[in-house]
Structure 1
Amino acid sequence: MSGDWNGAWAAALDELELDVAQIETMLADEHRHAETPPASLWKPPTELGALPLELRPRADEILTRQLRAAEELGRRLTANRQQMAMTARMETGEANKRPVYVDRAM
């Protein structure tokens, strides 16, 4: 029973680790396509019981990676919003054509 329990938890951690690895890969690839399908939502297993103690270091490491990835995603979203706001303020020259006067008297 103990081997099945550890194996089930190891499989659950494999799935969770794969999800965070996909996010890390996406963050590392600056030219990732916008059509990337959304990741499926990971749901913690309910039938497994408590996490085995020997898998705790691995679970902690995955959590650390998830937190780093979430922080980086937040940073990039903020940078994206700032860039969009700056771009929105820039004039394209097509919508508002205003006269420009140059004082040549000086």
Structure 2
Amino acid sequence: MSGGDWRNAWSEALDELELDVATIEAMLDDEHRNAETPPASLWKAPTELGALPLELKPRADEILTRQLKAAEEIARRMTATRQQMTMTRKIETGEAVKRPVYVDRAM
């Protein structure tokens, strides 16, 4: 594989990876996105390309940073959702607010 082809192949692989993380970021930004949205296909690291060209390393690092940030946000939202579900269950069962019950015996 010539030098130009090697760089282009890596650039295309990074394009695909960047598109995946951009899709996740868009889903996180859209609070009302339908929960039925199919998950993105799993990205597979190219095995036939060899080492990443040095000039593409900053771009790859930036994509990794965005991926990690998106993963942290997903984890944060999952925790918040779990807490909200717990509180909702307590409200539905009456556990959240324990109020005294009075019986009118005058009747």
TM-score normalised by length of structure 2: 0.86
1:91 to partner: Cα distance? 2.9
Please show how residues 1-106 of structure 1 align to structure 2 within 5 Å. 1-91=2-92, 100-101=101-102
Number of residues of Structure 1 aligned to a counterpart in Structure 2:
98
Structure 1 residue runs of 4 or more that deviate by more than 4 Å after TM superposition: none
One-letter amino acid of the counterpart of residue 11, structure 2: A
1:102 CA drift (Å): 6.9
- Identical columns (%): 79
SS in 2 for 1:33: coil
CA drift of 1:65 comes to 0.2
Shift of 1:92: 5.8
Deviations 1:41-75 (A, max 9, x none): 10000000000000000000000000000000000
| Residue aligned with 1:62, SS | helix
Counterparts of 2:19 and 2:42 in 1: how far apart (Å)?
12
Q: Secondary structure at the match of 2:88?
A: helix
How large is the RMSD of aligned CA atoms in angstroms?
Answer: 1.8
Gaps of 5+ in 1: 94-98
Give the AA of the match of 2:53: P
- Structure-1 separation of matches of 2:64 and 2:92: 44
State the distance in 1 between where 2:103 and 2:40 align. Answer: 56
Structure 2: unaligned runs, 5 residues or longer: 95-99
Cα offset, 1:23, TM superposition: 0.3
What's the TM-score once normalised by structure 1's chain length? Answer: 0.87
- Find the aligned partners of 1:5 and 1:89 in 2 and give their Cα distance: 58
Q: Give the Å deviation of 1:76.
A: 0.2
Q: Output the CA distance in 2 between the equivalents of 1:7 and 1:33.
A: 35
